[in-house]
Amino acid sequence: MQSWIPLVPDSASTFSWKVDALYFYLSGVTLFFTLLISAVLIFFVIRYRRRTPYEIPRPIAGSHKLETLWTIIPFLIAMTMFAWGARLYFEQYKPPQNAIEVYVVGKQWMWKLQHATGQREINELHVPVGRKIKLIMTSEDVIHDFFVPAFRTKTDVVPGRYTTLWFEATKPGKYHLFCAEYCGMNHSGMTGSVIVMEPREFDNWLSGNTGSTTPTVAGQQLFQTLGCVSCHGANGEGGRGPTLAGLFRREQQLEGGQKVIADEAYIKESITNPQAKIVAGFGPIMPTFQGQVTEDQLIQLIAFIKSLPGGAATPGASPAATPTEGPAPSPAATGSPTRNIR
Amino acid sequence: MKAIESFETPRPSEVNYINAQYGLKSWLLTKDHKRIALLYLGSITFFFFIGGLYAMMIRLELLTPQGDLLQSTTYNKVFTQHGIIMIFFFLIPSIPATLGNFLIPMMIGAKDLAFPRINLLSWYIYLLGGIITIYALLAGGVDTGWTFYTPFSTTFSNSYVVAAGLGIFINGFSSILTGLNFIVTIHTMRAPGMTWFRMPLFIWSHYATSLIMILGTPVIAITVLLLAFERVSRVGIFDPGLGGDPVLFQHLFWFYSHPAVYIMVLPSMGVVSELVANFSRKNIFGYSFVAFSSLAIAVFGFLVWGHHLFVTPQSVYAGMIFSFLSFAVAIPSAIKVFNWTATLYRSSISYDTPMLYALGFIGLFTVGGMTGLFLASLAVDVHLSDTYFVVAHFHYIMVGGALMGYLGGLHYWWPKISGRMYPEGWGRFAALVIFVGFNLTFLPQFVAGYLGMPRRYHAYPPEFQVFNVLSTAGASILGFGMLIPAIYFVWSMRYGKHAEANPWHLPGLEWRTQSPPPTENFEVTPVVTWDAYEFAPREEIEVVGKFGPEAERI
């Protein structure tokens, strides 16, 4: 690497410079106040050193004016940091529309990734430059954390839940991927690389790595072999079980009056623990598939269910245009960023 | 000058709390708060050096990028045990159980704490918790990190999690009892004339600390209990495989463990208020602001735990609120720093060892506090969480803050506690060595953290080596610096110059009795007619920047 000591890591995503700018602002304020306090301290310590052993200085009671001043000024400065940080955070955790989706499963101590087009990777992620990438992540065992310093973003990968992380790479290259949440014996070995490529190179890489079926197709096969079809229909049109076509991101009316948005975590729960939430009008007749399907297979089933067209939903891997999603987002929208798809 | 001479010097007496009784039994069954303080002092020093040994093992392992000195399983246990020992068995009891125990009754003119037997009980509980934890370490160790995150701790770790958890659970009761004892003592046992606003700020900060101890500690006890319950009986609470929620654990854990940071640093702030005022012979600038900022920290400290969960599936809106409150809780700390600095204006500053630690504290705590703002700031925290930046930040608070205050206080009150003076030259030298070693250890970690080096890594990419080499070099200097006071304190107990009753010439109540004090602290119950840090007669008080009725009244 460089012979000089860098102060910031590689900048390779659209967040990088934004986080760096806030970091430099915070560093500037920190340096200013640390130097100010130190300089005043040193000056006082020298200027007002004890000159004779028994001297007693004149007491000073205090000053409300000064107290007010040094309460309000730091507060206002802190609020600028708060507002700036919060605004950027919303951007970091607002999953974009029309992103390339990649499924990530963390396990002790490796990263398993699968592209929507079927390519599988271990501890490596190939992405094209200039495209929004959205990772849908879960863990097979303990909590992990997907951390790419060059992208200035990370998210915990939590068992039993699906979390998302998105970024848009801006510079081709090979960047560190770290697990940032302590996960046991080989935690420091749970590392890898994110390889950012020019779009054409990426297309070449994709076409050179075919062979595995896409998660959607694999999910469809599972849907058959596990016997889901007998109640939910071959294309999720429903029967003894609720309709699955067009289910994703739709509001589901539950037995007992509750409502739930059908996201990844809900679909997973309905497979592994079907009694937890019963759709209104249906009986608790579905057996649990806990232990019979792996996290990978769950992701494939979810991918298949997400792909089922129905109602107003647009078919395909992009659930972007479903009505519940609301209007298309603008970068400034303070809409509802959710990174925890429950 | 006349003010200092007018302080009454107590009659020297041969009998004091140390030689009043002899024999092991007289120590192990003592109800004297001063003797119990010494029991604590001995035990926390023992734990401090164990924790320090682990710290050196961590730093030696990280000298090279490859994991070559320790195996990863060993390394994981070493950093876990470093955290558990240092936090639960050194930092949390450090100042309250030793200096607080010794000085709260003396500073408010009481003969003892309100519940002397409970005070002794709390030491035995601490000891029992400590022994069980040591058993966990010797039996095979713990590898969960001191944070015990689930489901790793409940399902996946093959180490002595339940034993270590039991040690922490039991130790918590010691903390609760100490807090209870302090609160009751401060409310009911103040000497005549010792009104709330005449109390030294050390007492205010311990009052605030005690509130956190009795309100927060039960939550960690419950959390550890649930963890052990899930681990042993496989009832799903936190493990999603059993139907639990792993993030719930983090909420419960940090609900205690963030306020616990204030248990560590508030007493230290109290010590620094004493040191700054007394070694500059000046009353604290803005006394009531410093006093109430301690309470504000204690209260707001309970509302910021969610800033440890910015990268978990916590709602982004919750994250926003926690971020706001975390910035808000920084303000009372800033107020303290400004007031300490202002106290020095037109004062008479001595360069004795305790004051060097106090000045070091202000500088290091400022860095620690300001870098906390990076982590309160949502977007920057996303990049920084679980990196070495966090490690550096909390060591600036816990070592640069809490430990500096503890060492400063120990030097300051050593003549009172032991009746002997420590060697001043060595004291100043050690303070300097510790300051340099500390900064060299932890400053490079801020940079390594922003560059992306994750914490709890046994091996790391080679580009981070330069920072780790600096850090290890600093830690060696720091470790050497820590040995110096350990040696001269022990040395001084036998060979140190005998201390006068009031070697620093100060107005505080604890200095108006002999050194070491008699068992009952004061021969006659003192009547307090002066404010804290009143070095000069009242008429001479000067009000700068008159503002509001408060200033006029003074």
Q: Which domain holds residue A108?
A: 100-207
pLDDT tens per residue across span A175-194: 999 999 999 999 999 999 99
**Please, which contacts does B24-28 make with residues 24 or more away whose CB atoms are closer than 8 Å?**
none
> Of the candidates A82, A89, A181, which has its C-beta nearest B316's C-beta?
A89
Contact residues for B441 (Cβ-Cβ < 8 A; gap 6+): B59, B395, B471, B474, B475, B477, B478
pLDDT at B550: 42
Q: Is A1 part of any domain?
A: no
- Which residues of chain A lie closer than 8 angstroms to B540, CB-CB? 58-59
Kindly state whether residues A83 and A110 are assigned to the same domain.
no
Contact residues for B203 (Cβ-Cβ < 8 A; gap 6+): B104, B107, B108, B186, B270
pLDDT at B538: 61
pLDDT at A332: 38
Q: Nearest-CA distance from B24 to chain A in Å?
A: 42
- Cα–Cα dist B295/B293, whole Å: 5
Is there a contact between B365 and B393 (Cβ–Cβ < 8 Å)?
no
Which residue do the tokens 């003549």 mark? B415
Is there a contact between B119 and B232 (Cβ–Cβ < 8 Å)?
no
Kindly state whether residues A193 and A227 are assigned to the same domain.
no
- Cα–Cα dist B349/A102, whole Å: 63
Mean predicted confidence (pLDDT) in A116-128? 91
User: Which phi and psi (to 5°) does residue A60 adopt?
Assistant: -125, 125
Which range scores top for mean pLDDT: A218-227, A265-274, B330-339?
B330-339
Query: Which of B6-10, B63-67, B351-355, B511-515 bottoms out in mean pLDDT, i.e. has the lowest?
Result: B6-10
Q: Is A248 part of any domain?
A: yes
Average pLDDT of the residues of chain B: 92
Kindly state whether residues A112 and A165 are assigned to the same domain.
yes
Q: What are the C-alpha distances in Å from B77 to residues B136, B137, B164, B280, B382?
A: 11, 9, 12, 45, 27
> Of the candidates B323, B366, B545, which has its C-beta nearest A63's C-beta?
B545
pLDDT at residue A209 above 90?
no
Report residue A120 as tokens. Answer: 């599988």
Q: Which CATH number fits domain B30-553: 3.40.1370.10, 3.40.50.300, 1.20.210.10, 3.50.50.100?
A: 1.20.210.10
Examine the fold and report which residue of A74, A92, A110 is the final residue of a domain before the chain moves on. A92
pLDDT at A320: 38
| Sign of CA pseudo-dihedral B394, B395, B397, B398 | positive
CATH number, domain containing residue A263: 1.10.760.10
- Cα–Cα dist B522/B228, whole Å: 47
Q: What is the ipTM of this complex?
A: 0.91
pLDDT tens per residue across span B404-460: 999 999 999 999 999 999 999 999 999 999 999 999 999 999 999 999 999 999 999
Is there a contact between B225 and B252 (Cβ–Cβ < 8 Å)?
no
pLDDT at residue B170 above 50?
yes
Q: Is A245 part of any domain?
A: yes
pLDDT band at A3 (very low <50, low <70, confident <90, very high): low
CB atoms B451 and A9 under 8 Å:
yes
Neighbours of A58 (CB within 10 A): 12
Q: Nearest-CA distance from A32 to chain B in Å?
A: 10
Kindly state whether residues A130 and A202 are assigned to the same domain.
yes
pLDDT at B542: 59
**Number of folded domains in chain A?**
3
CATH number, domain containing residue A173: 2.60.40.420
User: Which phi and psi (to 5°) does residue A154 adopt?
Assistant: -160, 155
Closest residue of chain A to B550, computed from CA coordinates: A64
pLDDT band at B145 (very low <50, low <70, confident <90, very high): very high
CB atoms B371 and A30 under 8 Å:
yes
Give the DSSP letter string of A153-178: EEEEE-BTSEEEEEEEB-S-EEEEEE
Q: Nearest-CA distance from A235 to chain B in Å?
A: 30
How is chain B split into domains, by residue range?
30-553
Q: Report pTM.
A: 0.89
**Burial class of A256 by CB neighbour count within 10 A (0 to 12, 13 to 18, 19+):** exposed
Q: Is A7 part of any domain?
A: no
| Sign of CA pseudo-dihedral B372, B374, B379, B383 | negative
Contact residues for B270 (Cβ-Cβ < 8 A; gap 6+): B95, B200, B201, B202, B203, B204, B205, B206, B209, B294, B405
What end-to-end distance do the CA atoms of chain A give, in Å? 41
Q: Between β-strands A124-128 and A192-197, what pairing exists: parallel, antiparallel or unpaired?
A: parallel
Q: Is A10 part of any domain?
A: no
